A and B are shown apart, each in its own frame.
Chain A
């Protein structure tokens, strides 16, 4: 492997890692910070992608589609939290697992009824549709780089929100003792509704801006679900920084895994997770208590 090749693979790995973070960001919030196990995360990712496709074919612009879709997903998230999730906070976490598993089936079927089972493509916005040549026959799509930028912004934003703002503190406090937060005069119910909706919107947003790269197809959420959990858990629950680093690590591992040990490529991520957790049972940056 020569140096240029190695560097490009490094870039690939980092870029893929950022993409993973993008997809996992919503889960970081809902699962990592609020402590709700949301198996339907992938479904919201899929919904985002389908919204991006159907709205951009209506409006002719991905940007417009995203601007319309985000409020829609926020409303969807709020509705779900108020209607369903809210009733489970006091119960065993596993009922969240059950409920969100049910939601996967519901959303998948609704998707089929509303949008059908076809594979669709979404055009990259013209502004970002060119590539930067790297070697004589390889170039790098600008859109991918742009997404990486968005990911970094998101990561910084999330980190700031969770670690530095009072809202972030309230959310984290709510995950450990809701009653106490309420007794301090904080409407944790409302906050949780909003933050859950934000998490959903993030998942959907990931689906939207990823749609031009990944295409839009049935069950696309199922594939990302597990990897998102892996990211959040390897990083350490509750840590945005951990999630970011974990996604980069996984991105690199997968990239180099495919190139260096192609026979074992499928296993690499899980092997990595097993090693990390056996070595550090609380994830890379997890566990303050």
Chain B
């Protein structure tokens, strides 16, 4: 199965780079977190971003989204420099973000959480609609009028993913999207990611389930202490227990 997944994707050319970060240095106050990180996602590509706790995965994502301002380096979307663009502008260019620890709006109902985010993609097409999201996560359909804070942890997670899909992104960034999901649902999420991938939407996956990540992604990037220590085909990594142990502690 893993074979098939990887084989179906021809390597993308550099020309259709969707999101790119070059030489990022990010600080929180005086602590230097990212040390010159290069990172790129091409159209339709799925990337697994891995690393142990506190290595800078989330920081990298936030730096690219303008939620944290890198002190050095360039972020560009489809070749356009967006280093200093506002977060909403970056998001508008077709990027959706599922943050770790969720980020639902507790004072909005489930329905409102979804509806407020609805947007067509950059080409004006809406593949993901309210109905489709509810169909994907029937559990949410049963809780439409619950406040966001009145959901179980896993329901909140589904809501966040559903909300991101409502923006019809070209690139979906999932930071620990399966955290707290029951195996069955987690499997569903992986299934959805697979489907998303098949539909040509690019994804960045950060997840503790390294096996699933590597199985689903075209390429893997591993961070250690804010530096990219591995970047290449996922298989390369998964086939090399030594690397796995050195970088990921497994």
Contacts and interface: CB of A to CB of B under 8 A. Distances in A.
Direct contact of A and B (CB under 8 A): yes
Interface stretch (A37-45, A176-184, A207-215, A254-262): A176-184
Contact of A183 (B97, B113, B149, B150): B97
A188 B92 CA distance: 13
B107 A189 contact: no
A239 B87 CA distance: 29
A176 B107 contact: yes
B163 A289 contact: no
B88 A186 contact: yes
Interface residues of B, number: 30
A289 B107 CA distance: 6
B68 to A, nearest CB: 10
Interface centre among B112, B119, B167 (most CB of A within 10 A): B112
B180 interface: no
Contacts of B86: 182, 187, 189
A87 interface: no
B117 interface: yes
A116 B106 CA distance: 48
B96 interface: yes
A38 B113 CA distance: 27
Interface of B: 65, 67, 86-89, 91-92, 96-97, 99, 103, 105-108, 112-113, 115-119, 147-150, 163-164, 167
18 contacts: A166-B116, A172-B105, A173-B108, A176-B105, A179-B87, A180-B99, A180-B103, A180-B105, A182-B67, A183-B65, A183-B103, A184-B88, A184-B91, A184-B97, A184-B117, A184-B167, A185-B92, A186-B117
Interface of A: 166, 169-170, 172-173, 175-177, 179-180, 182-189, 238, 288-289
Nearest first, the 9 A-B pairs at minimum CB distance are A185-B91, A169-B116, A289-B149, A182-B87, A173-B105, A185-B92, A288-B147, A180-B103, A183-B97
Given A169-B112, A184-B164, 17 more contacts: A169-B116, A172-B105, A172-B108, A173-B107, A175-B107, A177-B105, A179-B67, A183-B67, A183-B88, A183-B96, A184-B91, A184-B96, A185-B92, A186-B116, A186-B117, A289-B149, A289-B150
